[in-house]
């Protein structure tokens, strides 16, 4: 492929000092490459060379060499280096956030917010570096001490999707690194420039360390980036036994493939896959609060979040009022250039996403849904401008039905509105899909809220009361159940996924008693 705009021509790349990076190419590219396109205009930003399987093999070897030394660095010292990396992301937050918006299409505020997530998880990791705790257990044998400790796991494979081209890597890499692991990152081919910039920021800080210099190992190889196709990089990465853990974010289809290949070699997986998230709205809910939550949840990032609100389960007593409020709110959403501070919704990632949204809307109508706003006509109106723009769509579902399309995840701003008569009906509808990521209820009733949060309530990994489905904080473990994959990233005790547990027993006595009172010989 050829990019008509060279790397040097774009000021964001120059501000981030990646214009002359070895993977970013000016003009014509010899060999396999990918062109990063601006989804708001369709124009090329820069070309990026694609790695081969040989390149991947070398990257894993370097990461393994770095791991053998990095794991011996005391965890608090690792935390100090992560602190410096977080500070460098702070310094470059604005140009990197704008690059996210340019390359992925989310609005500038969300692009900056995504970089802030990486900063926040770096801060979290710094504190974690002094809290990688194990338990002490009482032994049944006299003069024995029993305890558990956590050891670094090894080089970690990280596969990320286009919609969070910086933050999801940050969730994994900052925690894995502070745990003593090294990282090999395969980013989405839609967002290679953000990946290069993010990884290079971490590598620059690592290069300033002299930890491994006497051993001939580059400290920057704690963070390794391999941009390549599924065939050349993805599949070999999954099958490589040198990577004890593969953390993958993407579709349920992709997750099944990851689990199959990694499982065959008895490796570990951390999967963050699809979401078909619902908000339940009870009759006593604050309508203003609901409207704002749904607007961000369903329209934010143009519906391209795994936590986006896709279904709205509204009590029959307020459904008409809420639909009218949402119709008015949707009509006032500024759609356009994501770098314009007045824009609230940017484009979809590419033309195929636009086609997928149109097909989903047509299917929903064929299955009995009614367009409240947007729809195919809205998609056609948006198509009049360059780029991959659409209008957000609300579809009302016939009462008492569950059209099959509503059980699928379409990565676009489509909201299905169901009418329910009770909380039990809403919970049954919410849980009646294959995905189980995020959920929310709006109510002023403590009983309703607690019922929703009980074991018989939401079956999702995230359950919120009076806030929407989207916008999780890094302090809590992030992930979901069922087809969402079951993985947990970010906060809480998610760090344990990146380490191996070791149970230890020390005999400090002069005898050798056996457990369970067993005697063996004399």
Instruction: Tell me if residue 14 falls in helix, strand or coil.
Output: helix
Tokens of 399: 């009462």
Q: What is the CA radius of gyration of the chain?
A: 25
Strands 414-420 vs 309-315: parallel, antiparallel or unpaired: parallel
Which whole-number Å values give the CA distances from 376 to 206, 370, 372, in the listed order? 50, 12, 11
Tokens of 231: 């065939």
Q: Annotated catalytic, 183?
A: no
Q: Annotated catalytic, 504?
A: no
Mapping DSSP onto H, E and C, the string for 18-48 reads: CCCCCCEECCECCCCEEEEECCCCCCEEEEE
Q: How many other CB atoms sit within 10 Å of the CB of residue 20?
A: 11
CA–CA gap between residue 238 and residue 247 (Å, rounded): 10
Opening angle at CA 298, ends 329 and 464, nearest 5: 110
Which whole-number Å values give the CA distances from 63 to 144, 150, 155, 311, 482, in the listed order? 38, 20, 6, 43, 33
CA–CA gap between residue 50 and residue 53 (Å, rounded): 10
CA–CA gap between residue 337 and residue 406 (Å, rounded): 30
Tokens of 493: 């005790």
CB 79 within 8 A of CB 57: no
CB 459 within 8 A of CB 436: yes
CA–CA gap between residue 145 and residue 449 (Å, rounded): 45
Pick the catalytic residue: 272, 391, 409, 489? 272
Residue with tokens 């305890």: 147
Pick the catalytic residue: 179, 183, 306, 460? 306
Strand order in the sheet with 136-137: 136-137, 144-152, 499-507
Give me the active site residues, please: 272, 306
């Amino acid at each position: 492929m050829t990019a008509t705009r060279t790397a040097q021509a774009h000021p964001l790349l120059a501000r981030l000092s990646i214009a002359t990076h070895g993977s970013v190419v000016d003009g014509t590219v010899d060999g396999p490459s990918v062109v990063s396109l601006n989804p708001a205009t369709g124009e090329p930003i820069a070309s990026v060379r694609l790695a081969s399987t040989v390149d991947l093999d070398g990257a894993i070897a370097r990461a393994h060499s770095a791991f053998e030394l990095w794991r011996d660095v005391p965890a608090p010292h690792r935390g100090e280096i992560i602190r410096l990396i977080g500070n460098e992301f702070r310094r470059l937050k604005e140009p990197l956030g704008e690059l996210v918006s340019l390359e992925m299409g989310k609005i500038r505020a969300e692009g900056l917010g995504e970089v802030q997530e990486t900063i926040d998880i770096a801060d979290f990791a710094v504190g974690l570096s002094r809290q990688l705790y194990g338990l002490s257990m009482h032994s049944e044998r006299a003069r024995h001490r029993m305890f558990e400790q956590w050891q670094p796991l090894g080089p970690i494979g990280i596969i990320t999707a286009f919609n969070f081209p910086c933050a999801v890597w940050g969730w994994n890499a900052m925690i894995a690194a502070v745990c003593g692991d090294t990282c090999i990152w395969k980013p989405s081919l839609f967002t290679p420039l953000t990946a290069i910039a993010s990884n290079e920021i971490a590598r620059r800080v690592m290069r300033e360390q002299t930890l491994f210099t006497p051993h001939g190992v580059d400290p920057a190889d704690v963070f390794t980036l391999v941009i390549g196709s599924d065939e050349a990089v993805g599949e070999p990465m999954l099958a490589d036994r040198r990577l004890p853990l593969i953390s993958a974010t993407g579709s349920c289809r992709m997750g099944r493939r990851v689990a199959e290949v990694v499982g065959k070699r008895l490796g570990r997986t951390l999967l963050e896959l699809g979401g078909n998230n619902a908000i339940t709205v009870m009759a006593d809910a604050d309508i203003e609060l609901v409207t704002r939550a749904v607007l961000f949840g369903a329209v934010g990032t143009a519906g391209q979040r795994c936590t986006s609100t896709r279904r709205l389960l509204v009590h029959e007593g307020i459904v008409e009022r809420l639909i009218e409020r949402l119709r008015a709110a949707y009509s006032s959403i500024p759609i356009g250039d994501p770098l314009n501070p007045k824009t609230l919704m940017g484009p979809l990632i590419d033309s195929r996403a636009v086609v997928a949204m149109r097909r989903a809307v047509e299917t929903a109508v064929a299955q009995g849904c009614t367009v409240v706003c947007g729809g195919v006509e809205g998609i056609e109106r948006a198509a009049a401008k360059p780029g991959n723009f659409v209008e957000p769509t609300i579809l009302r579902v016939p009462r008492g039905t569950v059209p099959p399309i509503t059980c699928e995840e379409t990565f676009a701003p489509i909201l299905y509105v169901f009418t329910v008569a009770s909380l039990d009906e809403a919970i049954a509808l919410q849980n009646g899909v294959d995905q189980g990521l995020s959920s929310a209820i709006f109510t002023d009733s403590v009983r309703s809220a607690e019922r929703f949060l009980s074991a018989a309530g939401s079956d999702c990994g995230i359950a919120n009361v009076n806030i929407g489905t989207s916008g999780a904080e890094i302090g809590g473990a992030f992930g979901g159940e069922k087809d969402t994959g079951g993985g947990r990233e970010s906060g809480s005790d998610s760090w344990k996924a990146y380490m191996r547990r070791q149970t230890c027993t020390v005999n400090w006595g002069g005898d050798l008693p056996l457990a369970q009172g067993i005697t063996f010989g004399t």
